[in-house]
Amino acid sequence: MVFPFSSVEDFRIELSEEHELFRKSVRDFVESKVMPKWREIEESNRIPREILNEMAEMGFFGVGIPEDYGGQGGGQLMTAILTEEISRAVPALAVTLGVNHLFAIPILLFGSEDQKKRYVEPIAQGKARGAHANTEPSGGSDVAGIQTRAKKVNDHYVLTGRKVFISGAGDADFLVVSARTSEPLEGKRWWGITVFVVEKDTPGLKIGQQFKVMGMRGEQPYEVVLDEVKVSPDSIVGPVDEGFKVIMATYDHTRIGIAAQAVGIAQAMFEKALNYSLQRETFGQPIISHQMITGKIADMYMKLEAARLLTYWAATLADKGKREFIVAASLAKAYATEAAEWIARQTIQIHGGYGVDFETGIERYLRDAIITTIYEGTSEIQRLTIVRQLVRQAFGMKI
């Protein structure tokens, strides 16, 4: 029984020797260059420039972006492997990669050829940074409810509004910004939203406060203020008034990256829990010999591998262009992020007092894991997406 999918072949995950060679190269880079810097990143709340420069030299910013636009290709599966390996060391660094994809994907899917050449190429080459400004004080998951306005004035548009929790905005050269260009139609709340590209030096664009959220230190989000920002029609991504579809299609793809972040966090925590339980002794024997610890380790491993398989499966479906990847992406995002949070919590419990000591570098993963359950669609939104897609695929109905 494969319901609601059409064939057992839809569950195939296609990995190759190329994927493994790539994973090893990323692991080597992370172990030598990133892992030693985790404390500096946590304390300074900044990613060192030399790490970003080396990532650009290695082509990491171009993974998942077609070669025609300066990228390395590789698709969603290669991107997931890259994200997982980086998140195993510093999840915030994976956010830096992820926000570039949040910027690039809507342009790759809906943008003009000129926009792809002008904006995506420098992003893929690591010469520029992007950000995705959609979330507002009134809500983030309810994309149709955004309040930012784009008013048509003669031959241009004027954007006015405020965006919040925008990752990467502080260093972004370009931002994709959603704004309402028309009032919604009856029965179509989503109608009337348009997506624009705004360059950082555009008058009226201001990067406001940085939000001190509990995790992802090194790449914490910002406020973006749009004070009568003038842009040309050439900056529009996709059809006017149909930007809701642009935003939602973007998230369908990028939530796989969040699942991969969670898998990397879970992998790091599992490794630390297993190693510590073999070394730490109580009552004259390693704590792994105690049944309660054995059970935790086994459950951690089961959740880790299930999360990884869901994530790789969703990525494979996306690379094949299968419509079913949307529900798979939500399954992966919800399960992997919740699994990462649970595994991190158990790792802290196994370590006892050391687990909550900043110097051991363990408690930071729990803070980061909690963030993954929230951004790019909370776990609750993923469950809603899963059921809606299930009903749509199986019965052709909308709920």
Q: Could you tell me whether strands 156-166 and 149-153 are parallel, antiparallel, or unpaired per DSSP bridges? A: antiparallel
Sign of CA dihedral 295, 301, 304, 308: negative
Question: Residue 81 has which token pair?
Answer: 């492997």
Question: Residue 200 has which token pair?
Answer: 């950082």
Ramachandran area for residue 95 (φ above 0: left; ψ -120 to 50: alpha; else beta): alpha
> Rounded to whole angstroms, how far apart are CA atoms 397 and 399?
7
Question: Residue 359 has which token pair?
Answer: 């110097």
Q: Could you tell me whether strands 130-133 and 174-180 are parallel, antiparallel, or unpaired per DSSP bridges? A: parallel
Taking Cα atoms as reference points, which of 144, 64, 143, 197 lies closest to residue 376?
143
By the 8 A CB rule, do 275 and 350 touch? no
Taking Cα atoms as reference points, which of 73, 81, 84 lies closest to residue 108?
73
Choice among 136, 338, 363, 376 that is catalytic:
376
Annotated active-site residue 376? The verdict is yes
Provide the 3-class DSSP secondary structure of residue 215: coil
Residues assigned a catalytic role = 376
